[in-house]
Every structure is written in C-alpha cells, then in structure tokens.
C-alpha cells in the first residue's frame, strides 16, 4: 500500500513564516520531496526515523555521496511531546504509536513522527496547543528535487547590479540603501510568484468526498479553489463559488459540522456532550471489553475511520434500538452518522468515542 493511503489528507509544505529559527535556515537551498513516503534518516545511510510526504519542502545542507542533509520544520500538538535531555534535543514525541507534524497550527499534514522522535523547540508562537519544532537529518538525493529560488534570486540581482545613489537632501558621501527608490528607474514588471494555495481546475473535474472515495460532484473548467492539503496524487480543496439560496438547507439545530477528530483529541473536555455529524468509513462491528474502559463493557460499537478524509479510528457506540441497522452495513461502506461525543479521546489510544443517534449509508 502506498504511503499516500496512510496519509490521506497530508499537508505537504513546511512552515516558512516569520517565526523561522534563524536567518541561516531561510537562506538555505530548498528541496521538494519527490518520492511518496521517502525516509528521513538520522545520518547518511543510518537509522530510519520517519516518513515524509511527496511534495514536502525541506531546507538543504551538506551533500555526502548519494545523501543530502536537510532540516525539517513544522508544528505539533503540545500534548503529544514532552521534555527530554537526550542528545541535546528539547522535546520527544510521547504519543504512541506516532503523531502528525503539520505545516502550521491546524494546517496541512507533513508526515508522521513515531513515539520517541527527538525535536528541537523553536517556539510555541504564543499558543497553548501547538509547538513549533525542527529537526536535522538526511534524505537520499534520489528522493528530492531542487526548488527554484525565484524571489531571492531577483532580490540578489537588484542588490548586485543597482548602484548606490545620492539621496536628495543628504550630504555628499552619504548614500541611500542600494535598490530602486520611489519613482526611480523602470518599474518591476516581473510577474508575481503564483500563490500555491489558490488554484483553479484545468478541465471539467470530478470532486470526491475523499481520496479513492465516492464522487460528490463535478467542477467546471477554471473553477476557483483553495488548497487545504495534499496527499500523494490527491489535493484537498475548498470551493469558492455561489449557489442559489433555495438550494441550501441548514444543519439540524444543535448539530456541529466541520469539526475534526484532531480537534476532539486536542480539547477532549470541550466537546463532551456535543452532537456532531461525521462521514465515516465503516470497518467492523465489535463488542467492548475491559480493554475499552471508555465504552460500557459488552456494548456494541462501530469501528470506523474518519471523519473522512481523516484516517484515524473512531468508536461509535450503538444503542440496542439501532442495532438492526448494522446488518445492512458492509466493510468499507461510507456512512454518515449523527452522534453525541462520549469522550474526545480514549484513555489508552486517543480515539474519539461517540454515542450513535442516527446513521445513513451513503452511495
């Protein structure tokens, strides 16, 4: 199974905002991961540490034969890391078996870091839930390609070729900062760099509920879209458009839509008792035992993945009155459930637990 199926809604771009750890990192050459599931190594030819998504960007360093030193940078849940004195690092991943590294707080998924993975704290950005982290290691050269530094190259050219000028009102010998001033020289007519978060459909395109999932509609050519994340050959998008008001219906009163499982795990107490509407992939019907202390012993529950396109596990407790509906379910069927949150995350595995209120099988 390809790595992209394990990371359905990956974000694949590392955080490059103003909170970068230092100027030297920003000045390093940028590389893009081209192999789906490329390994991140502790040292050249050494121990494998984590897997990266195709399209992820890293800062490049020294080369050594077929190997390239790189620096990862991203954000991780503060509750999923703990302090450590090991090998000069600040933090270690504490969540088992692994935790997501994202391009920004609640942003696109970059990759999965196993329990024990060591990190250096950059900052928390003033946030309680997220920590900005970095880690240096190695990748194979065959798994990366260079990213053109268009903006920095143009700035360097302007700095190198534009002579210093005397600023009006200044004394002789005092010059302005090299570069064009207001109204001086020809205007820069270079096209602006494209915004990778805003795209449009190149042709009539099928819109899917999830990667490899059921179609949900069709996009006309040139439909404006905003990129939310990428996973292998798939891109999660948000549609910018208009519909007739008469074609809309409000969500049922008191039902939350658009809430992710990651939000429940991050703030489990906040959502207890809330009613959600989630689209899930049904896996199996199971019976709770003492290993599931968050579910009544002997209760029937659905083991599912979601909410789609998330791939984590969800437990949905089925009341006696709803058990007849389970007979019609087939493994991997897509279902929409309305359910009340029993637990934002389980004691041992961190999966949400819901109490089923209604269930509908989707095409």
Do 142 and 7 lie in one domain? The reply is yes
- Within-domain flag for 27: yes
Residues 59, 14: Cα–Cα separation, whole Å: 9
Do 10 and 135 lie in one domain? The reply is yes
3-state DSSP of 228-282: EEEECCEEEEEECCCCCHHHCCCCCCCEECCCCHHHHHHCHHHHCCCEEEEEEEE
- Within-domain flag for 137: yes
Do 136 and 36 lie in one domain? The reply is yes
The residue range of the domain holding 338 is 255-361
Structure confidence by residue, pLDDT tens digits, 267-280: 888 889 999 999 99
Confidence label for 258 from pLDDT (cuts 50, 70 and 90): confident
Structure confidence by residue, pLDDT tens digits, 148-158: 643 344 444 44
Q: What is the pLDDT of residue 80?
A: 92
b/e per residue, 295-331, with b = 16+ CB within 10 A?
Answer: beeebbbbebbbbbbbbbbbbbbbeeeeeeeeeebee
What is the chain's Cα-based Rg?
Answer: 25
Q: Which residue has the higher pLDDT, 149 or 18?
A: 149
- Segment among 164-168, 194-198, 289-293, 322-326 with least mean pLDDT: 164-168
- Within-domain flag for 164: no
What is the residue-averaged pLDDT of the chain?
76
Indicate whether 36 pLDDT > 80: no
Residues 89, 160: Cα–Cα separation, whole Å: 39
Residues 262, 109: Cα–Cα separation, whole Å: 11
Do 271 and 216 lie in one domain? The reply is no
Do 51 and 133 lie in one domain? The reply is yes
Indicate whether 295 pLDDT > 80: yes
What are residue 280's phi and psi, to 5 degrees? -125, 160
Indicate whether 20 pLDDT > 70: no
Do 12 and 109 lie in one domain? The reply is yes
Do 321 and 233 lie in one domain? The reply is no
Among residues 146, 168, 188, the one where a domain terminates is: 146
- Within-domain flag for 160: no
Considering its fold, how many domains does the chain have in total? Answer: 3
Range with top average pLDDT, 32-46, 52-66, 130-144: 130-144
Q: What is the pLDDT of residue 250?
A: 67
Q: What is the pLDDT of residue 231?
A: 62
Q: What is the pLDDT of residue 61?
A: 84
Among residues 123, 146, 169, the one where a domain terminates is: 146
């Amino acid at each position: 199974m390809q790595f992209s199926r394990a990371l359905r809604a990956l974000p694949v771009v590392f955080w490059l905002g103003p909170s970068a750890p230092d100027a030297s990192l920003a000045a390093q050459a940028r590389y893009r991961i081209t192999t789906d599931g490329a390994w991140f190594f502790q040292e050249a030819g050494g121990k494998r540490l984590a897997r990266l998504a195709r399209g992820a960007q890293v800062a490049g360093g020294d080369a050594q034969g077929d190997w390239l030193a790189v620096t990862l940078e991203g954000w991780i849940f503060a509750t999923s890391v703990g302090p450590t004195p090991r090998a000069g690092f600040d933090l270690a991943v504490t969540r088992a078996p692994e935790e997501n590294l994202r391009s920004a707080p609640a942003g696109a998924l970059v990759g999965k870091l196993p329990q024990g993975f060591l990190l250096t704290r950059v900052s928390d950005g003033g946030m309680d839930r997220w920590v900005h982290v970095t880690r240096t290691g190695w990748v194979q050269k065959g798994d990366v390609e260079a990213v053109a530094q268009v903006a920095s190259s143009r700035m360097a050219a302007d700095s190198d070729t534009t002579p210093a000028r005397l600023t009006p009102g200044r004394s002789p010998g005092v010059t302005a900062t090299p570069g064009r001033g207001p109204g001086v020289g020809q205007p820069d007519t270079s096209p602006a760099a494209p915004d990778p978060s805003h795209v449009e459909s190149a042709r009539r395109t099928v819109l899917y509920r999830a990667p490899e999932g059921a179609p949900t509609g069709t996009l006309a050519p040139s439909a404006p879209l905003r990129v939310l994340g990428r996973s292998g050959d798939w891109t999660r998008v948000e549609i910018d458009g208009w519909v007739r008001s008469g074609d809309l219906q409000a969500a049922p009163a008191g039902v939350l839509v658009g809430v992710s499982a990651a939000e429940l795990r991050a703030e489990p107490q906040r959502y207890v008792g809330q009613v959600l509407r989630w689209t899930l992939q049904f896996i199996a019907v199971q019976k709770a035992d003492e290993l599931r202390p968050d579910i009544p012993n002997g209760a029937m529950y659905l083991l599912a993945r979601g909410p789609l396109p998330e791939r984590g596990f969800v437990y949905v407790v089925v009341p006696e009155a709803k058990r007849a509906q389970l007979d019609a379910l087939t493994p991997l069927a897509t279902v929409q459930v309305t359910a009340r949150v029993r637990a934002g995350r389980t004691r041992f595995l961190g999966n949400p637990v819901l109490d089923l209120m209604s269930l509908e099988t989707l095409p």
